């Protein structure tokens, strides 16, 4: 079924709905919960906003009804940092030759001073996005250095050109997940919350920039055939992360010795093979808690924990909040 194209200004009254790409002008949401907006075609959108002089942070959940494409023509001159927490998202920007496809667990940076972009989502689909917008001048003054990435970003900003931080979205790291979880779960109001949100958000931005300035390259001590086998192993883990897997089994699976599996996987993907397994399991646990509405005990059983308390501890260490708090968000 073809998606219906709807201009955002005909869908929502932006005098009451904060603009996720503006900076410093939006009313903040209440400390607890989300601002909810319903539309017969677009579906249910929930926003939680934090607005500061040079920064806007929005936590968005979107459950669509029909297949729609929202056409946005709101002028903006911000640098945007996007974290696709759940679901997949496709955005086509004016000024970019190709759109940006973000999958669950990926992040991206983009700047599009022309302002027009189209966001497409299928029918009966759910996604979550965590988004940070920074004032362009603040961003330009904050980044410094004589490396090629920084020089290119500064040049694009000076010439008012569209740009992305990297040629494709990159993976959200465990530390990024933890910071987002802390921002989402922090309930204290007033100056302490303002300081906490801004400090965590700026750390997220710094981690994104560092990852894009030094993207993972193929280690020189790995042969091309070994890299191919390790990518096969990663695909295998994506499909079998709930299974009890030993290093010996993984070694036989990709036809590499155990030392090469341990060392090569970490060199190539910047985390150990068992850290990657834990990441996949915790992300799946989060989906079961929020999207499926399962209890903590039920999710603990599915993940193979003997005691629910052990699962709760592991989940909190990874996500930054307990399973029960995450389930209520």
- What is the per-residue pLDDT across 231-243, written as a single tens digit (0 to 9) for each? 889 888 988 899 9
Tell which residue, 46, 49, 70, 172, has the closest CA to residue 119.
70
pLDDT of residue 257: 92
DSSP state of 108: E
Tell me the HSE value of 73 on the side-chain side, using a 13 A CA sphere: 7
Q: Could you tell me the pTM of the whole model? A: 0.63
The H or E element spanning position 220 is none
Chain-wide mean pLDDT for the chain? Answer: 82
CA 26 vs. chain centroid, Å, equals: 22
Rounded-to-10 torsion of CA 201, 203, 209, 210: -160
Tokens standing for 243? 């299974």
Give the separation between CA 86 and CA 59, rounded to whole angstroms. Answer: 12
Q: Which fold is adopted by the domain 4-213?
A: Jelly Rolls (2.60.120)
Q: Is the pLDDT of residue 283 over 70?
A: yes
CATH of 224-328, one of 1.10.10.60, 1.10.260.40, 1.25.60.10, 3.30.230.10: 1.10.10.60
Higher local confidence (pLDDT), 12 or 299: 299
Q: Looking at residues 3-14, what average pLDDT do you find?
A: 69
Give the separation between CA 69 and CA 160, rounded to whole angstroms. Answer: 26
The C-alpha angle 245, 246, 250, rounded to 5 degrees, equals 80
> What tens digit of pLDDT does each residue of 295-312 get?
999 999 999 998 899 999
Q: 200-225: string of b/e by CB count within 10 Å (b at 16+)?
A: bbeebbebbbebbbeeeeeeeebeee
pLDDT-derived band at 274 (thresholds 50, 70, 90) equals very high
Q: Is the pLDDT of residue 258 over 70?
A: yes
pLDDT of residue 16: 45
Q: Looking at residues 304-322, what average pLDDT do you find?
A: 88
Any idea which of 62-66, 211-215, 242-246, 323-327 has the lowest mean pLDDT?
211-215
pLDDT of residue 51: 84
The values of phi and psi at residue 90, to 5°, are -125, 125
Q: Are 132 and 81 in contact (CB under 8 A)?
A: yes
pLDDT of residue 25: 52
Q: Where in the chain is the domain with CATH 2.60.120.10?
A: 4-213
Sign of the Cα pseudo-torsion (242, 248, 249, 255, in order): positive
Give the separation between CA 208 and CA 170, rounded to whole angstroms. Answer: 9
The residue with tokens 């904050």 is 142
Tell which residue, 137, 133, 143, has the closest CA to residue 55.
133
Q: Are 109 and 157 in contact (CB under 8 A)?
A: no
Cβ atoms < 10 Å from Cβ of 47: 19
The C-alpha angle 131, 134, 138, rounded to 5 degrees, equals 160
């Amino acid at each position: 079924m073809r998606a219906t194209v709807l201009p955002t200004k005909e869908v929502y009254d932006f005098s009451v709905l904060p603009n996720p790409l503006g900076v410093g002008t939006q009313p903040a949401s209440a400390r607890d919960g989300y601002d909810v907006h319903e539309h017969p075609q677009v579906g249910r959108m929930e926003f939680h906003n934090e607005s500061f002089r040079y920064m806007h942070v929005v936590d968005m959940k979107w459950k669509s009804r029909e297949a729609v494409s929202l056409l946005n023509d709101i002028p903006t001159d911000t640098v945007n940092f996007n974290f696709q927490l759940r679901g997949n998202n496709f955005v086509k920007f004016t000024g970019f030759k190709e759109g940006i496809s973000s999958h669950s667990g990926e992040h991206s940076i983009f700047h599009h001073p022309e302002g027009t972009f189209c966001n497409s989502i299928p029918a009966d689909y759910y996604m979550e996005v965590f988004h940070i917008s920074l004032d362009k001048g603040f961003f330009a003054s904050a980044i410094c250095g004589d490396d090629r990435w920084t020089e290119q970003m500064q040049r694009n900003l000076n010439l008012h050109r569209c740009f992305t931080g990297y040629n494709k979205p990159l993976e959200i790291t465990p530390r990024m997940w933890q910071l987002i979880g802390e921002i989402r779960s922090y309930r204290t109001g007033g100056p302490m919350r303002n300081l906490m949100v801004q400090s965590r958000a700026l750390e997220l931005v710094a981690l994104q920039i560092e990852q894009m300035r030094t993207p993972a390259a193929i280690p020189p001590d790995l042969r091309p055939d070994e890299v191919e086998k390790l990518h096969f192993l990663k695909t295998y883990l994506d499909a079998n992360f709930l299974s009890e897997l030993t290093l010996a089994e993984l070694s036989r699976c990709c036809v590499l010795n155990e030392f090469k599996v341990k060392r090569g996987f970490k060199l190539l993907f910047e985390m150990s093979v068992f850290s990657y397994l834990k990441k996949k399991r915790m992300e799946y646990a989060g989906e079961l808690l929020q999207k499926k509405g399962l209890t903590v005990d039920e999710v603990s059983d599915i993940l193979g924990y003997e005691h629910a308390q052990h699962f709760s501890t592991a989940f909190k260490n990874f996500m930054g909040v307990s399973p029960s708090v995450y389930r209520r968000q």
